[in-house]
Amino acid sequence: MEATEEKKEPDTKRVHTYPLIRHSDMNDEMKTEAMELCVTACEKFANNNENAAKMIKDTMDKKFGASWHAVVGEGYGFEITHEVKNLLYMFFGGNVAICVWKCS
Amino acid sequence: MSTSKQKRSYLSTNQSMATSKRGPGAGKGNKLGTRGPGQMSTRSNLASSSSKKSVIGGIAPSDKSSNIRVPVQVFDEAGNDVTPLPLLTLDPNQVRIQQSNVLGDSTVGTPTDLLSQISTSFMTSAFGGGPFTRSVFTQSNDTMESLQDEDHAVADTSTWAQIRQKRAEVTEIVAEADLDKIVDLTLVETETIWMLDIPTVCVAMDSEESQSIRDNNDKYALLCKSRAGNDLYAERGMNTFNEAPKLKAIQTNKIGYTDTGVTCTNWDMYDTFKAVEKEAKDKEAKGEGGTISRPNSPNEAESSKDADPLKPDVPEVAQAVSRSASVKSGSRVGGSRLEKTLTESRVTMSSSVGGSELFASKETGVGSFQSDVTAVDEDKIMKSDSLKKDLFIMERVINLNTYQPKQALYRGFDIVPDIDHELTNVNQIAVSDMGPNLDRLWSYFCPLTKGRNVACLAWNKSNPDLVAVGYGQFDFTNQKSGLICCWSLKNPEYPERVYTSKHGVTALDFSVANANILAAGFYDGGVAIYNVRKTDDEPILDNQKDGMGSGSGDHESESHGKHLGPVWQIQWIEKERGSGEERAEVLISISTDGRVTQWSIRKGFENYDIMRLKKLPTRMAGKAREKKGEAFISRHAGGLCFDFHPRDLIVYLAGTEEGFIHKCSCSYNEQYLETYTGHTAPVYRIRWSPFMPDIFLSCSADWSIRLWHQERVTPILTFHSSTKTVHDLCWSPRSSTVFACVNEGALEVWDLAQSTLDAVITITPTSGAKLTSVNFSKNAECILVGDNEGQVTVYELRCMPAPAQAEFQAEALNSVIKSSLASQLPSVAGDKTMSAPMDEMDD
């Protein structure tokens, strides 16, 4: 559970806009890459979670192969089976949570 | 055909070039773009007026023999040389040679030659020639084979040079000239621009060339046929190597799968972010070089203060989530850090320990979504004050939701209809048609009070939504422990305060001066004072034991002045002490031992009897009955109730077990001012009318309620409505002619203006409980009724006739009394004449 960037915008409406990894068991470089990708996707598709998830999933498939799954949302619960060392669960933008895992 | 055409076009191009040369001021930007196969077209390129690029040089006068080749130079406004550099620099020697041949060849050489010349030269020197645009064209270069490159280049370059020379001439004229002159531009239609030209590969049978082409085709076919066995052609084959295949199998590492799950919510995100911030701050604080034992760490204190007061559970939860094994004491103190902003060194140490725990656990990266909340933390969370506060708020909210319509009725607001609630289509009579009635709103009841008899009700003087209810049995045989509950309007489910006591509670009153002081009288004669701000169960003063600084050291005996029988009524009275002293409040109590006692709490719990109720010999009309052989238990009559005059606080009425009502004064403690006879059984309640100063009501065990005037010894009106003991009585604070009473079986509301014979409303509780106490609510049209099962029910009074104006209240009651008196026959003994009271009332 690390906080990577400490960028906090002074905008009072959106606090905690920096991405924060809540849980992850990936390698460090995979984790960083995945996190960057998620941030990019969410910023690009700020109001369309489906497209953001689609972008994340496709890119992860290309980069790390086989079958990735991505969930982007604000309120959900999940119970998943994932390959070991291939799960990332992070928060971004104050109220968006992204869960990415690999499982074929 | 094409040949001639092209030739023509070439010539025409030359002509157009000439015209352009002559055009005055055409040098502004007349750029000639050559394009197309073999066709040179002029194209007026109108440069923008703002560009003052001058193109110098380039085209010399059409002296084709000259070797001058002035390079094109482009200058911008400032005179800088912005000539684009050529991509390929031609060898000037070669250029000269080529140049000399130009015109000679131009008429001889086929147009196709020219075409290819141009094309190649353009390809090579094109882009260095200045800002010309030309289309890139491709063409089949089959015909180029026979020609030599030099010729192409020569012809082309010369024409190129020609063009450039021509242009230079034009521009030179204008370069120094007045640029503001009006320029006439001649627009000429350019020649057709050929973009693509694919020569046909088919020829008509009857064309001129058909024969030659046929011959060619035959020759080629023959060639193909003869290829097979010809010496000129040899076959040759090749084959790639076929490597030997090799099988290789591999198996990846087993891909392990695990299951994880979590609930993602906004508050989880917020908490996590907050935790991270806090860690960051802790990190900074720690990293400032301070040792752990630093006494004052303002950063720590600040960070603890910064934690959102509404979410103090965050670090506890964060700690719980992040590690599975932690120092108990560390975490405990760390949690309490939030609740108190301490700056002690110990706290600093523990907080940094807590912080480092968090760091340590982060490093391990052991992900566990489910919060491993150990028992320690749960306990801590449960006991935290913030949780209590949050629960309290939640409880209020839920109650508000449940009881909103009822509470709105209580206050007199209109009910907001529940949108979701489906309306039951019951044929209801309109409420207004039903006449005065009571609507049951809710009842204060909880398992704690179940089965207890409600003995007394008291409203808080400053907050009319708070009511204190005392629970105690009336019978001697059935005594339980007593209970005092303070209920709030906002929460009918559970009392706000609960005080238990050993004996049944029989009387309660809130103080006027200090609204948080509650006095209670008990069945054993004890009197206690509670502070309702505190939640602990002990009264702040009581007279169970003599421990309040009294001189005698006999602690086991009861204190002096404690009542020997149940205290039936207790009331705070503001007394004017003497001149110069402020009004002080004293407590008055009355009990079965016949004493009316005044208690003061200035020093300890002192008391002072203001009256002893003596028994009066019973006076039956006409007969004096002697009590022979009947021994008195005591010379005092048991007192059951009293009420101080609302205006004149010296005078009060006391009701006794004998049925007499005595008017007493605080100045005399032996004599009565007046005695009122009428009741034949113990008088349970006396109440002065809040509107008329001389009228009071009393109720008693003889099933009746009587209305008295203080000047008349006999009652003015008597109300019989049932054959049950009337336990309690209360005037309505709003209407002078309305009062409520409870007898054992029913609640009755009387309106004297409507009827003096019957109650206007009678309600019998369906639960079969006996009703024991009643009280009107001060700020609402509601009545509270207590019964012997522990319920205090709130009824709303509906459709009562509107109370008269304040000044007319007295009038209303007056008129009732007058009319009733008028209907009475004058009685003989002991009464003043009828006229006298009427005169008094006429004031």
Q: What is the pLDDT of residues B651-684, one digit of tens each?
A: 888 888 888 888 888 887 778 888 888 888 899 8
Q: Which residue has the higher pLDDT, B171 or B11?
A: B171
Interface membership of B263 toward A (CB under 8 Å): yes
**CA dist., res. B721 & res. B706, Å (int):** 12
Count of H-run helices and E-run strands, chain A: 2, 5
**What pLDDT is recorded for position B585?**
76
Residues in chain A with CB shorter than 8 Å from the CB of B261 are: 77-80
Which phi and psi angles does B124 have, rounded to 5°?
Answer: -85, -45
B690 pLDDT above the threshold of 90: no
Q: What would the two tokens of residue B757 be?
A: 């014979």
Q: Measure CB to CB from residue A79 to each of B259, B270, B362 and give the nearest one.
A: B259
Q: Which residue has the higher pLDDT, B144 or B78?
A: B78
The reply to whether residue A76 touches residue B263, judged by beta carbons under 8 angstroms, is yes
What is the gyration radius of the CA atoms in chain B, in angstroms?
A: 59
Residues in chain B with CB shorter than 8 Å from the CB of A24 are: 365, 367
**CA dist., res. B337 & res. B343, Å (int):** 9
In B, minimum Cα distance to A72 occurs at: B264
Residues in chain B with CB shorter than 8 Å from the CB of A94 are: 269-270, 273
Whole-model pTM over 0.95: no
- CA dist B597 to A97, B590, B601, B755, Å? 72, 6, 13, 39
**CA dist., res. B814 & res. B205, Å (int):** 140
The reply to whether residue A20 touches residue B272, judged by beta carbons under 8 angstroms, is yes
**CA dist., res. B821 & res. B826, Å (int):** 9
How many CB pairs below 8 Å do chains A and B form together? 77
Q: Where are the alpha helices (DSSP H) in B692-737?
A: none
> HSE on the CB side for B769, CA within 13 Å?
20
Which phi and psi angles does B221 have, rounded to 5°?
Answer: -65, -40
Contacts of B785 (CB under 8 A, 6+ apart): B742, B747, B765, B771, B773, B774, B792, B793, B795
Residues in chain A with CB shorter than 8 Å from the CB of B255 are: 83-84, 104
Residue (of A26, A34, A18) closest to A96 by Cα position: A18
Quickly tell me which residue has 């860690």 as its tokens: B279
Which phi and psi angles does B314 have, rounded to 5°?
Answer: -60, -55
CA-based nearest distance A1→chain B, Å: 6
Q: Mean pLDDT over residues B695-701, rounded?
A: 88
Q: Other C-beta atoms within 10 Å of B268: how many?
A: 18
Q: Measure CB to CB from residue A89 to each of B262, B279, B280 and give the nearest one.
A: B262
A29 pLDDT above the threshold of 80: yes
Contact predicate A80/B261, CB 8 Å: yes
The reply to whether residue B270 touches residue A87, judged by beta carbons under 8 angstroms, is no
Contact predicate B514/B584, CB 8 Å: no
A58-96: per-residue pLDDT in tens? 999 999 988 899 999 988 998 999 999 999 999 988 788
Q: B726 forms bridges with which residues in the sheet?
A: B743
Q: B665 forms bridges with which residues in the sheet?
A: B651
Q: What share of chain A has pLDDT > 90, as a percent?
A: 52
Interface membership of B476 toward A (CB under 8 Å): no
Residues in chain A with CB shorter than 8 Å from the CB of B270 are: 16, 94
Residues in chain B with CB shorter than 8 Å from the CB of A76 are: 263-264
Residues in chain A with CB shorter than 8 Å from the CB of B260 are: 23, 79-80, 82, 87
User: A16-102 adopts what CATH topology?
Assistant: Protein Inhibitor Of Neuronal Nitric Oxide Synthase (3.30.740)
Contact predicate B280/A6, CB 8 Å: yes
Q: What share of chain B has pLDDT > 90, as a percent?
A: 0
**Strand B747-751 with B738-743, pairing:** antiparallel
The reply to whether residue B261 touches residue A78, judged by beta carbons under 8 angstroms, is yes
Contacts of B160 (CB under 8 A, 6+ apart): B121, B125, B129
CA B420 to chain centroid: 22
Contact predicate B527/B560, CB 8 Å: no
**CA dist., res. B308 & res. B313, Å (int):** 9
- CA dist B669 to B577, B599, B609, B664, Å? 17, 15, 8, 8
Residues in chain B with CB shorter than 8 Å from the CB of A20 are: 272-273, 276
The reply to whether residue B263 touches residue A87, judged by beta carbons under 8 angstroms, is no
Interface membership of B478 toward A (CB under 8 Å): no
Separation of first and last alpha carbons in chain A: 26
Top mean pLDDT of B322-331, B340-349, B428-437 is at B428-437
Q: Measure CB to CB from residue A95 to each of B258, B266, B280 and give the nearest one.
A: B266
B757-803: per-residue pLDDT in tens? 888 888 887 777 788 888 888 877 888 888 888 888 888 887 777 66
The reply to whether residue B280 touches residue A3, judged by beta carbons under 8 angstroms, is yes
Query: 3-class SS at A22?
Result: strand
Q: What would the two tokens of residue A101 be?
A: 């895992």
Handedness of CA B451, B455, B460, B463 (dihedral sign): positive
Q: How confident is the model at residue B810 (pLDDT cuts 50, 70, 90)?
A: confident
In A, minimum Cα distance to B265 occurs at: A75
Q: What would the two tokens of residue B57 be?
A: 């040089």
Contact predicate B41/B193, CB 8 Å: yes
Query: 3-class SS at B593?
Result: coil
Q: Measure CB to CB from residue B258 to each of A75, A81, A95 and give the nearest one.
A: A81
**CA dist., res. B85 & res. B73, Å (int):** 9
**What pLDDT is recorded for position B761?**
81
Which phi and psi angles does B243 have, rounded to 5°?
Answer: -70, 155
Assign 3-class secondary structure to B479-536: CCCEEEEEEECCECCCCCEEEEECCCEEEEEECCCCCCEEEEEECCCCEEEEECCCCC
- CA dist B838 to B692, B757, B807, B819, Å? 14, 22, 19, 10
Can you say whether residue B128 is alpha, beta or left, with left for phi > 0 and alpha for psi between -120 and 50 degrees? alpha
Interface membership of B265 toward A (CB under 8 Å): yes
Contact predicate B748/B762, CB 8 Å: yes
**CA dist., res. B128 & res. B85, Å (int):** 5
**What pLDDT is recorded for position B514?**
82
The ipTM of this complex is 0.70
Contact predicate B809/B690, CB 8 Å: no
- Domain spans of chain A, in order of start: 16-102
Lowest mean pLDDT among B155-169, B203-217, B293-307: B293-307
**CA dist., res. A86 & res. A73, Å (int):** 19
Angle at the Cα of A99 from the Cα atoms of A93 and A100, rounded to 5 degrees: 125
CA-based nearest distance A5→chain B, Å: 11
Lowest mean pLDDT among A1-10, A85-94, B700-709: A1-10
Interface membership of B97 toward A (CB under 8 Å): no
**What pLDDT is recorded for position B647?**
81
B596 pLDDT above the threshold of 90: no
B556 pLDDT above the threshold of 70: no
Residue (of B652, B653, B801, B785) closest to B728 by Cα position: B785
**CA dist., res. B744 & res. A86, Å (int):** 77
